[in-house]
Amino acid sequence: MKTAPDTAVLSDGGRDRHGRTISYVRISLTDVCNLRCVYCMPEKMTFRKKQELLTDEEVLRLIRLFGGIGFRKVRFTGGEPTLRSSLVEIIRATRETAGIESVGLTTNGILLDNLARPLGEAGLDSVNISIDTLDRDRFREITRWGNLDDVFAGIRAATKEGLRIKLNCVVSRGWNDEQDVLALAALTIDNPWQVRFIELMPFGNNAGFQVGRTVTESELVEKITARFGPLEIQNEGRLDGEARVYRIPGAAGSLGFISPVSRPFCSACNRVRITADGILRLCLLRDEEADFRRRIREGEDDDSLRDALTRAIYRKPWGHDLKSDAFPNKRGMSEIGG
Ligand code: SAM
Ligand code: SF4
């Protein structure tokens, strides 16, 4: 016999056992990438076989189930989600899914120039574009294979399409924590974008690079303040999603700081993740997972899948334990999607 309480708790917008409303799912559409960012994956990377990845139908079925249990926001990520040939169709179908109010994409922007228009027409609301420096040579060093001009062509195309734009910069000590950070912050003076500085997080697959390279929010705020003057805190210090937001006085855009290492925001966490191979990941930085590809491929019906989803989400862990050096080891960031 099914026990009702967990489902009942979640059907009104999704509450976990810690009282948090969980209404946002990030879905990785592939683990493959056309770049090899030094902090994210090694240059020689092995990817999953195509048959291990969720099909379009499987992805959309899960999204319908999420919409039905109170999820309102979907963000597609990867690997590099623009490498999925059916991305536009997936976004269109997601936009039409009952309950889903917001559809976003996180991308390295390399292929966005040609995709921004079809994505906008399909109903994409917002795009987060990763850009760790404005220096062409440094960009090539960090991404190993990337051309900064392609990213800017993507940003221009997304702007033309009217998509909401945020720029993501992962800061790595010794790579982009000096002039690069200041140049990115300066972009917000004339552009209405949010430039977000993300603290480098440790993952088992690339720990050799990551150890000792995290630059904290307070170090960055100090550096940016020294150049541009005191930053104005926005939203009275309340988080916007996972970011604390500031503004350079008079700037058109804003600065976001995502600081899972130095200022964890677990109490405000409202999300879960689906990896490209169909695993529900309950916390980015913990290895607790539930295999939904297996359930789907074993023929479970929607009621049973919904029940399993709500139960798993209800058990979402409180948060990470980086302070005790409990690092996620099962998967790297490119497999989970960030
Ligand atoms: N390829 C897309 C991109 O780069 O935007 C989407 C996937 S990527 C894994 C998502 C985000 O995770 C990017 O903003 C990337 O910079 C960030 N990221 C990757 N490895 C990270 C790490 N170890 N710590 C913090 N952020 C990381
Ligand atoms: Fe690819 Fe994104 Fe990872 Fe860079 S951060 S290697 S673009 S998945």
Instruction: Parse the chain into domains and list their residue ranges.
Output: 7-166+265-336
| Atom 21 in ligand 1: residue holding the nearest Cα | 40
Q: Is the CB of 108 under 6 A from ligand 1?
A: yes
What is d(CA 157, CA 41) in angstroms, rounded to the nearest whole number?
28
- SS percent in the chain: helix, strand, coil, step 5: 40, 20, 45
pLDDT at position 173, please?
97
Using DSSP bridges, classify how beta strands 271-274 and 279-281 pair: parallel, antiparallel or unpaired.
Answer: antiparallel
pLDDT tens per residue, range 114-171: 999 999 999 999 999 999 999 999 999 999 999 999 999 999 999 999 999 999 999 9
Give the mean model confidence (pLDDT) for residues 184-196.
97
pLDDT at position 126, please?
97
pLDDT at position 203, please?
83
pLDDT at position 2, please?
36
Does the pLDDT at position 326 exceed 80?
Answer: no
Is residue 213 within 8 Å of 172, Cβ to Cβ? yes
Is 7-166+265-336 a CATH 3.20.20.70 domain? yes
Q: How many other C-beta atoms can be found within 10 angstroms of the C-beta atom of residue 45?
A: 16
| Atom 26 in ligand 1: residue holding the nearest Cα | 200
What is d(CA 225, CA 78) in angstroms, rounded to the nearest whole number?
33
Q: Pick the more confident residue, 15 or 303.
A: 303
pLDDT at position 277, please?
96
Using DSSP bridges, classify how beta strands 254-258 and 244-247 pair: parallel, antiparallel or unpaired.
Answer: antiparallel
What is d(CA 288, CA 329) in angstroms, rounded to the nearest whole number?
11
Does the pLDDT at position 68 exceed 50?
Answer: yes
Mean pLDDT estimate for the chain: 92
Pocket of ligand 2 (CB under 6 A): 33, 35-37, 40-41, 78-80, 108, 130, 334
Give the mean model confidence (pLDDT) for residues 227-239.
95
Give the mean model confidence (pLDDT) for residues 77-101.
98
Give the mean model confidence (pLDDT) for residues 208-224.
92
Helix ranges, the chain (H): 5-11, 56-68, 87-95, 112-122, 136-143, 148-160, 179-190, 207-210, 217-228, 292-297, 302-314, 333-336
Least confident range from 43-47, 109-113, 200-204, 306-310: namely 200-204
Of the listed ligands, the closest to the CA of 337 is: 1
20 residue type, one letter: R
Is residue 199 within 8 Å of 220, Cβ to Cβ? no
> Nearest CA to 188 among 157, 234, 148?
234
pLDDT at position 4, please?
40
Give the mean model confidence (pLDDT) for residues 275-291.
92
- Count of residues in the chain: 338
Does the pLDDT at position 3 exceed 60?
Answer: no
pLDDT at position 208, please?
79
Give the mean model confidence (pLDDT) for residues 94-114.
98
φ/ψ bin of 44: left (φ > 0), alpha (ψ from -120 to 50), beta (otherwise): beta
For the sheet with 126-130, list strands across it: 232-233, 244-247, 254-258, 194-199, 164-171, 126-130, 102-107, 73-77, 24-28, 271-274, 279-281, 289-291
Q: Is the CB of 168 under 6 A from ligand 1?
A: yes
Instruction: Quote the ligand 1 centre to 201 CA distance (angstroms).
Output: 10
Most confident listed range (2-6, 133-137, 201-205): 133-137
pLDDT at position 5, please?
42
